[in-house]
Amino acid sequence: MGFIIRETTKSDAYDVATVHVRSWQSAYRNIIPDSFLDGMNIEKQAERFTNDINEYRGKTFYYVAENDGRIIGNIVLSGCRDDDKGDAGEVIAMYLHPEQWDKGFGRQMMEYAVAELESLGYKEIVIWVLEENHRAREFYEKCGFTPDGTKKELCIDKPLVVVRYVNRVEVES
C-alpha cells in the first residue's frame, strides 16, 4: 500500500489527535512545560479537531498522511492568517508521529503542502515555529523556508516565542 496523503475525514479524528499529542510530547519536551505536555488528552484533542473541521472546512484544508494504511501524520493548510501576508498561503499545522521521524515522510508531507498551496495560487507560503524548536527550524530551512524576522509571543503555561518562516514559490514562465 505504501505512503499516501489524502483528505481527512471525520472518522480520522482519533488517529489525527494521537499523532498531534504524541508529536507535541516528543517535539516540545523541554520547550513547553512537562505538566502541559503530560496533561494532553487524545480524546479531547479528537473532539477539538472534529469541531475545527466542522467550523473551518472550505476555508481550511485538512489532510492525513498514511503509511501502509495507518495514519502517521497530518497537515492543515489555509490562506495566511497574518494581516501583512494576506496574499500568502499558510501551513497551519504539520505533525508526524515521532516513530516516523527521519524516514523521509516529513519531506514528502511538506512537498505536498507546498504543491497544494501553489495549486491554490499562492506564491508565498508561511509557517510559524517555536523559536526553541531547533529540529523543526532546521527541517523547514532544508525545505526552502527562511525566517523573515517576524516574531510573536504566545503562552502555553509559560511565555514562548514563535518565529515566522516564509517560502517564496518558484513560478514557471
Distances (CA, A) of 24 to 19, 42, 59, 86: 8, 11, 25, 28
Which pLDDT value is given to residue 172?
54
Q: Say whether 98 sits in a helix, a strand or coil.
A: helix
Task: Indicate which CATH number applies to the domain containing 143.
Answer: 3.40.630.30
Could you list the residue range(s) of the whole structural domain that residue 47 is in? Answer: 3-168
Q: What is the pLDDT of residues 111-159, one digit of tens each?
A: 999 999 999 999 999 999 999 999 999 999 999 999 999 999 999 999 9
Task: Name residues whose C-beta falls within 8 Å of residue 141's C-beta, 6 or more positions apart in sequence.
Answer: 165
Grid cell in block for residue 44: 479531547
Domain contains 99: yes
CA–CA gap between residue 163 and residue 136 (Å, rounded): 11
Domain contains 90: yes
The one-letter amino acid at 159 = P
- Number of helices and strands (H, E) in the chain? 5, 7
Single pTM value for the model: 0.93
Total structural domains within the chain: 1
Domain contains 173: no
Q: What is the pLDDT of residues 17-31, one digit of tens each?
A: 999 999 999 999 999
CA–CA gap between residue 131 and residue 143 (Å, rounded): 17
Domain contains 41: yes
Please name which of 142, 148, 80, 78 lies closest in space to residue 107, comparing C-alpha atoms: 142
